[in-house]
Chains A and B, each alone.
Chain A
Amino acid sequence: MINNHLSESEIQQYSFERDTCNNIILEHVSKCEPCRIQASNYKIIDEKLKDVKKEFFNFDLSKMVLKQISADTSSSKLLINLFFSFLFGFMAVIVIGAASYFIIDAISLKEQLANLPNPVIPVMSVCVVVLISVYTSEMFSRHRKLMRLINTL
């Protein structure tokens, strides 16, 4: 048996991790009233702590999170759509430009049109302007839609 009283850590060990206590501690507590009182105080605190009321959110967390997730998904879809739209537009301009150039070359219009300004440049310019205006208007309409969705959250 320990002659001195148990230390605070030994008393807590006895109170909360009794299966890890050695026999000296167990024996001491069984014979020492003050140490037993210290341990019983911790026992009471432990019991009362179990009864302390649990906190909870006063809002519907799952609803809020799911709304946020769907808004995030919409905005990432929008970005992907925009990326592919621009990629498609860019490729379209290249294809139209190249096709115009080769068609003109193939039907030997070049010589006939030698005195006229090269038509590839105006054709490409028109295509670019048309595509940019189409995609810009589409982008604005999607952006407005997204803003409306965010505002409703």
Chain B
Amino acid sequence: MDNPDQIRQDCELVEKVLRGDTNSFAQIIKATENLVAQILFKMIKNEDNRKDIAQDVYIKAYKNLSGFKFQSKLSTWIAQIAYNSCINFYHKKRTELYDDFLGSREEDDEIIRNEVADQESSDFQIEEEIQGKELKKILESEIEKLNPIYKTLITLFHNEELSYEEITSITQLPEGTVKNYLYRARKVLKTNLLKKYKEGEL
């Protein structure tokens, strides 16, 4: 954790909550719920389940606050609880989260070499003019089609602008795995966008 002000602020809030000040816990909720929302919206489709899990996340955080060791930001720790709660939800429902429909990284590399070679003459590029609302809308719908974990990683990295270290801390995935999943997710997004562009949808 690199921000000493943030550590001090987290420390003060945690101490107040541990002394029984529930208003400070409300402050913690307000400060962290946006990050939790990004994770829950990407991982859980059903609104009622999302609501239950959101409450559950903060009840767990409240009960385990005395065990928080300040090894990460408080928001990262709460986001980790949120992510784990989502994974447990999928385990309970016995739903498979991981799939290998994208193939291996080596195969992708081979494909892209060919794609680049094919495009040398046509110069396919997502042009600046089509960067308006339409592209954003298409991108949002393409993100929704991704696997929940890929969606979450894309959101945490690009939208929330978290570092690999923070994402690793939240997801408890090795850094290499996080990078690999991000790589695959971005590639799918780019391929689908270019496909739509070629098809004249953009």
Which of A's residues lie within 8 Å of B, judged by CB?
A: 4-9, 11-12, 33-35, 37-38, 40-42, 44-57, 59, 61-66, 68-70, 72
B7 at the interface (CB under 8 A from A): no
- Binding-face segment, B8-16, B67-75, B86-94, B189-197: B189-197
Contacts of A41 in B (CB 8 A): 125-126, 190, 193-194
CB pair A66 B25 closer than 8 Å:
yes
CB pair A44 B131 closer than 8 Å:
yes
Q: List 17 A-B contacts (CB under 8 A).
A: A9-B109, A12-B186, A34-B117, A37-B124, A45-B189, A45-B193, A48-B135, A49-B159, A52-B140, A52-B159, A54-B37, A56-B37, A62-B30, A65-B58, A65-B59, A65-B62, A66-B22
Q: Which 9 A-B pairs have the closest CB atoms?
A: A8-B112, A49-B158, A55-B41, A7-B109, A62-B29, A5-B116, A62-B26, A65-B58, A37-B125
CA distance A64 to B126 in the complex (A): 45
User: At the interface, is chain B mostly helix, strand, loop or mixed?
Assistant: helix
Residue among A6, A44, A70 with the highest chain B CB neighbour number at 10 A: A44
Contacts of B51 in A (CB 8 A): 57, 59
A sample of 18 more A-B contacts (CB under 8 A), given A48-B135, A56-B34, is: A5-B112, A7-B109, A8-B112, A9-B105, A33-B120, A33-B123, A34-B123, A41-B190, A42-B186, A45-B139, A48-B136, A49-B143, A50-B159, A54-B38, A56-B33, A57-B37, A63-B26, A69-B59
CA distance A5 to B116 in the complex (A): 7
B54 interface neighbour in A37, A38, A42, A61, Cβ under 8 Å: A61
Give the B interface residue count (CB, 8 A). Answer: 49
Residue among A8, A46, A64 with the highest chain B CB neighbour number at 10 A: A8
CB pair B124 A69 closer than 8 Å:
no
Residue among A53, A59, A61, A72 with the highest chain B CB neighbour number at 10 A: A61
- In the complex, the chain B residue whose C-beta lies closest to that of A59 is B51
CB pair A38 B112 closer than 8 Å:
yes
B201 at the interface (CB under 8 A from A): no
CB pair B30 A34 closer than 8 Å:
no
CA distance A55 to B108 in the complex (A): 31
CB pair A35 B158 closer than 8 Å:
no
Which of B's residues lie within 8 Å of A, judged by CB?
A: 22, 25-26, 29-30, 33-34, 37-38, 41, 51, 54-55, 58-59, 62, 105, 108-109, 111-113, 116-117, 119-120, 123-126, 128, 131, 135-136, 139-140, 143, 154-155, 158-159, 161, 183, 186-187, 189-190, 193-194
Contacts of B22 in A (CB 8 A): 66, 69-70
- In the complex, the chain A residue whose C-beta lies closest to that of B127 is A44
CB pair B183 A52 closer than 8 Å:
no
Contacts of A46 in B (CB 8 A): 158
CA distance A22 to B41 in the complex (A): 37
CA distance A50 to B161 in the complex (A): 8
A55 interface neighbour in B25, B37, B136, Cβ under 8 Å: B37
B109 to chain A minimum Cβ distance, whole angstroms, is 4
A13 to chain B minimum Cβ distance, whole angstroms, is 9
B52 to chain A minimum Cβ distance, whole angstroms, is 10
Contacts of B37 in A (CB 8 A): 54-57
- In the complex, the chain A residue whose C-beta lies closest to that of B28 is A62
CA distance A152 to B173 in the complex (A): 41
